[in-house]
Amino acid sequence: MSTTEPQHTTEPQRTTKPLSTTEPQRTAEPQRTTEPLSAPVPIVLAGARGHGHWHLDNIRRLQDKGIVRLAGICELTPLTPDEIPEGLGAPEQSADFGALLDSTGARIAVICTPIPTHTDLALTAARRGVHLLLEKPPAPSYAEFRRMADGVAETGVVCQIGFQSLGSHAVPAIRELISDGVIGEITGFGGAGAWARPQSYYRRAPWAGKRRLNGVDVVDGALTNPLAHAVATALALAGTRAEDVTRIETELAHANAIESDDTSCVRISTADGRPIVVAVTLCAEDPDEPYVVAHGGRGRITYWYKQDRVLLQRAGHGPEEYEYGRTDLLENLVDHLTDGTELLVPPAATEAFMRVVEAIRTAPDPVQLPDDAWRLLPGEDRRTVPGIDGLVAAAADNLALYSELGAPWASTTAHPKEVST
């Protein structure tokens, strides 16, 4: 299964207005949320272009196994037959999400639409008793997250948040190693992501690279969208809950001509005194696989979360490397609904991540890097920040912010635990 980080790359002309959510206000039928479902479960996919193509392929895989059936696709402009993977048939298509859920009898909705539309679409489904796989980030603000999570909970439906890295079997394995004291007392967690994106990446949709659009929060930054898995995975390995967060410091900057951040870092202080520092960039000189590292008194554990690969280094032993399997989150949601398998990523598991999103949303606007701090690669449509690859790695290794590592352009803003909702 592909573990490509979701990018929310819906085509530009399809993101200038939200999908229709017109719907009668009716209570979900009790049997739709209390009785186990039977396979194949009918599914509607909202947002089938861009990263939605990945979901189409995944749904086809599960349909071939007899687990699900693609009943409908919600897009402002219908997909052509060539855009629908072979084997999925001719699902019903409509721009009206609520009407499509009604007409297809869908029991699960996969929502892969622009970030600001997530909450309204999730609630549209939930009020009909339709269960959810909601792409990350689940919402652009903590208030919208709570509106979604509370609204979904009131209806009794089940919601899975699409942090695919949290379906990796490496996550519980690393947590067990930590709990067993294999690397000694934990001193903190680091995360590093050195990726590259062309300038055209920020022209893929009206909301791309925006902090807000037409007065609505978007928060499409490196830490909150393309490399959000680094933050969420570090928090998961640390076992950090929202109430454990005591302070959040952010350093947000951009080399590209955008509003949001493309080169940034965050330090999350926690009640147990073990900080979490995640440093990322979309302006890497030599892009590499992102990772999370657990620091201990007698060693470290490095987890390349897209590859499900783990490196254990500890005193008195040679390096040990492991590769793990991964549970697909849509398949896990279906299993949860059909036989009671434990749900891997309910909204509560992402609440600490949403505290970080809120800190970034309310932070001062990212700093524009000076012209001498970045360069346009000859013959390529992307900007790089010389030395940023090493800086990202150093931040994760030393649990330090860019400013503490000597980056002259870095500016720190601290945020307390009490986030305005």
Angle at 197 between CA 195 and CA 199, to 5 degrees: 155
Tell how far CA 72 is from the center of its chain. Answer: 24
Q: What per-residue confidence (pLDDT) applies to 14?
A: 32
Q: What per-residue confidence (pLDDT) applies to 3?
A: 36
Gyration radius of the chain over CA positions: 21
- Reference 70, options 51, 50, 80, 84; nearest CA is 84
Tokens of 212: 């807000």
- What is the b/e burial string over 52-63, where b = at least 16 CB atoms within 10 angstroms of the residue's CB? bebbbebbbbbb
Q: What per-residue confidence (pLDDT) applies to 160?
A: 98
CA distance 114 to 118: 7
Q: What per-residue confidence (pLDDT) applies to 412?
A: 81
Side-chain half-sphere CA neighbours of 63 within 13 A: 18
Instruction: Count other Cβ atoms within 10 Å, centred on residue 343.
Output: 17
Tokens of 10: 């819906």
Q: What per-residue confidence (pLDDT) applies to 15?
A: 34
Torsion angle of C-alpha atoms 347, 350, 356, 361, degrees rounded to 10? -30
CA distance 272 to 238: 10
CA distance 58 to 68: 10
- pTM, entire model: 0.90
pLDDT in tens for each of the 421 residues of the chain?
A: 333 333 333 333 333 333 444 443 333 333 334 468 888 999 999 999 989 999 999 999 999 999 999 999 999 999 999 999 999 999 999 999 999 999 999 999 999 999 999 999 999 999 999 999 999 999 999 999 999 999 999 999 999 999 999 999 999 999 999 999 999 999 999 999 999 999 999 998 899 999 999 999 999 999 999 999 999 999 999 999 999 999 999 999 999 999 999 999 999 999 999 999 999 999 999 999 999 999 999 999 999 999 999 999 999 999 999 999 999 999 999 999 999 999 999 999 999 999 999 999 999 999 999 999 999 998 899 999 999 999 999 999 999 999 999 999 998 887 665 444 3
CA distance 175 to 187: 14
Walk me through the domains of the chain, giving residue ranges and CATH numbers.
Answer: 12-162 (3.40.50.720), 169-325+350-416 (3.30.360.10)
Taken as a whole, the chain contains a residue count of: 421
CA distance 191 to 393: 8
